[in-house]
Each structure stands twice: as structure tokens, then as C-alpha cells.
Chains A and B, each alone.
Chain A
Amino acid sequence: MVLDADVMQLRRGDLDALTALIARFQNRLYRYLLRLVREPAEAEDLFQQCWLRVAEKIRSYDPGRSFDSWLFAVARNLAIDHLRRVRPQSLDEPVSKDDASESFVDRLRSKETLALDRILESERSENLAAALLNLPATYREVLSLRFEEEMKLEEIAEVLGTPLSTVKSRLRRSLEQLRNSLEAGYYRGDLS
């Protein structure tokens, strides 16, 4: 693995490299934190804490790992600690996997997907974003890492500290629940 020049310089204590890294990752990192905590002010605060932690821990970063995965894992740990303190219930997964997949299959069988068709065809991303925000934090984060950060499943597993099989099942469940929410018409008011 070729180690990022900025990361190498930061490990040597170069503060300009740190500034360059903050600028480079600002949108991705902020978006990920915002998806997790949902509140812009909290996301900004965590963004700041995350870079302080990076500056503090950069010497313990293993250059054999992907820097992106390490950075997002640092951000995730901070966000989880924050949520545990502020909104512990937001970390729960409210729907069991069996219930979710069963009701979804039932819905597919009944072919009642007209609402979904309308949503997807009109590409109402506000609607989708609203549905995404209403998912549990564990689902929001896996969707964000996969589709917004475009991370490979192995990288996501590294960030979450879970096996690949867990990432896959979580990804499937989160997509199913997202689709379920859209089909259920919770956001129909925004569609008209």
C-alpha cells in the first residue's frame, strides 16, 4: 500500500499536512458525522474533536491500514460515544431482521410498489434523505459508507470493526428498511 504523502508528513509532525488533510476530507467526514448524529452543530463539534484525536493519535496509526478507514473509525467512535451520552436510544435497532425482511417480501409479493416507483422515477432526493434520516444510526452509517463514501465492504468492516458477513446483512437490512419506509408512504406528503 502506498502511504499518502500528507499522512506521512503528518506523522513527522508537519502541521501543513494536517491542514491539507482536513481540507481534503472535510466534506466526506462531515457528511458521515451528520448522517450519524443528524444535528449540524453536533456534527461540527465532532468534526473538530475528530481532527484533534487524529493529531493526537497519528503516531499510533498503522501505515499498513487504509487511512480513510482509520479516520472514519476514529470519527465513528467519537460519534457513538456522543450518541451514547446524548441520545442512547438512537443506537438501538428497532426492527428485528426477520420482521423487516418478511414484511418487505410480503410487500413485494403484493406488488404495491407504486409509491416507490413514483419516488424513484422523480428522483426526489429530499424524500430519500428524509427517509434515510429516520433509519436507526447503524443503518444510516452503513448506507452512507457504501453509497456516499463508496467504500468497499472490506473497508466498511474495518471502520465498523465487524465481520464482512455482518456488514453485508446490515447493508441488506438497511436497504430493505429504507425501501419499506418509502413504500409505507411516510413521506407521501412531500411527493405531491
Chain B
Amino acid sequence: MIAAIEHNRIRSLLALAASGALDPAEETLVGNHVRNCPECSAQLDEWRALAQGLRRLPTPQISAQALQRTVALVREASAAESERRTTRKILAPLLAFSWLLTVLSWPLFRIASGGLRVLFDIHFAHDWRAFAVFLAWTWVAGGVAAFVLSSHQQRHRRLA
């Protein structure tokens, strides 16, 4: 009875034994049983043949066009991503700097035009129009610079 239970248990392990998927203790158990059980030994051989057949299945090949397309696409996407990262790295401090300048330019302008005393003068002077022109000019200049830079990078990428 015990031998039959053992026999059935070993049988359930034979497929894994042929796959090299047993732990050392189970492997020893199967090895010892198979030495004395011709039926399990034959079964194990069949499982091994099946495993061997699976290992020998022909390897399908991807078409050369699909491979080339993949390489080209991935390179292009990676280059674009890398460029985006670089642009972000450059633009972030530039943006912070431009905002700092914008915030500081009003008091600096007031100091330059009227001295420290007028800085705390809450009445708007007539020079606000000049300041608005200055601000608009800096933003337009910044926009043009960004456009030129982006066009240049796109042209560079197309050539690469």
C-alpha cells in the first residue's frame, strides 16, 4: 500500500524531473525509485524525450525588415527622448532665471530711475509704460530665441 502511494507520488514528479525542476531531495527520491521501478524509468525516459523535443524546436526568425524598422524606430525615439531631457535640463534654470529677472526688474528699474526713495512710493509713476515695453521686449526676444533654438535642433536631428 505504502509502496503504491510512493509509486504514484513519484509518477507525479517525473515530468518535473525531466525538466530539471526538482529540488535536490526530490531528485534523490526520484532517482532511488526509478532505479528499482522499470515502469517509472520508462515513463521518465518518455518525459525526457518530450523535454528534448521542446528544446530542439526550430527557432523562428524575425524578418530583416521588421528588425531594421525596430532599430530605426527605437533609435529615433531614444534620440528624441534624450533631446527632450537635455532641453528640460537647460530650460528649467533659464526659466527660473527669467522669472527672477522679471520680478527683480521692477524694483531695479525704480531704483535706477528715481533712487531708493521712490522704491517705496506706492503711487505709480509715469515710467510704468517704459517698463511694460521693456517687459514685452524681453518676452518676445525670449520667444524668438526659443523658436530659433528649436528649429536648429530639429534640423540637426534630421541631418543625423
Measured CB to CB, the residues of A under 8 A from B are 13, 15, 18-19, 22, 26-27, 30-31, 34, 40, 43-44, 47-48, 51-52, 54-56, 101, 105, 108, 113, 116-117, 120-121, 123, 125, 128-129, 132, 143, 146-148, 150, 153, 168, 171-172, 175-176, 178-179, 182
| Secondary structure class of chain A's binding surface, majority of residues | helix
| Identity of the chain B residue whose Cβ is nearest the Cβ of A104 in the assembled complex | B15
A–B pairs, 24, beta carbons within 8 Å: A13-B78, A15-B75, A18-B78, A22-B70, A30-B62, A34-B60, A48-B66, A55-B74, A108-B43, A113-B46, A120-B46, A123-B56, A125-B58, A128-B50, A128-B57, A129-B57, A146-B19, A146-B21, A171-B15, A175-B15, A175-B51, A178-B50, A179-B15, A179-B47
Residues of B within 8 A of A182 (CB): 50
Smallest beta-carbon distance A126→chain B, Å: 9
* Pair count A-B, CB < 8 A: 115
A120 with B49: CB separation less than 8 A: yes
Contacts of B51 in A (CB 8 A): 147, 175
Bound-state CA distance A102–B53 (Å) is 24
A125 and B56 CA atoms in complex are apart in Å by 7
Contact A172 B50 (CB under 8 A): no
List of A residues within 8 angstroms of B71 by Cβ: 19, 22
Chain A residue nearest to B16 (CB atoms) is: A172
Tell me, rounded to whole Å, the shortest Cβ–Cβ distance linking B159 to chain A: 16
Known A-B contacts A55-B81, A128-B53; the reply to A171 vs B19 at CB < 8 A is yes
Chain A residues with Cβ below 8 Å from B62 are 26-27, 30, 43-44, 47
In contact, A168 and B75 (Cβ under 8 angstroms): no
Task: Please state if B15 and A22 are interface contacts (CB–CB under 8 Å).
Answer: no
What separation, in Å, do the CA atoms of A52 and B57 have in the docked complex?
Answer: 28
Chain A hits for B73, CB < 8 A: 48, 52
Nearest CB to that of B67 among chain A residues? A26
Chain A residues near B47: list those with CB within 8 A.
Answer: 175, 179
- Which residue from A56, A105, A128 sits with its C-beta under 8 Å from B11? A105
* Among A34, A43, A121, A147, residue most surrounded by chain B Cβ atoms (within 10 Å): A147
| B82: interface (CB < 8 Å) | yes
Of all A-B residue pairs in the complex, the 5 with the closest CB atoms, nearest first, are A147-B54, A120-B49, A30-B62, A44-B66, A175-B15
Flag B85-124 by CB within 8 Å of A: 1 or 0 each.
Answer: 0000000000000000000000000000000000000000
Residue pair B70, A171 in contact (C-beta under 8 Å): no
Q: Are B11 and A108 in contact (CB under 8 A)?
A: yes
Contacts of B59 in A (CB 8 A): 27, 31, 148
A143-B54 in contact (CB<8A): yes
Starting from the known contacts A128-B54, A168-B21, 4 additional A-B residue pairs (CB-CB under 8 Å) come to: A51-B74, A52-B77, A55-B81, A175-B15
- Complex Cα distance, B27 from A166, in Å, reads 19
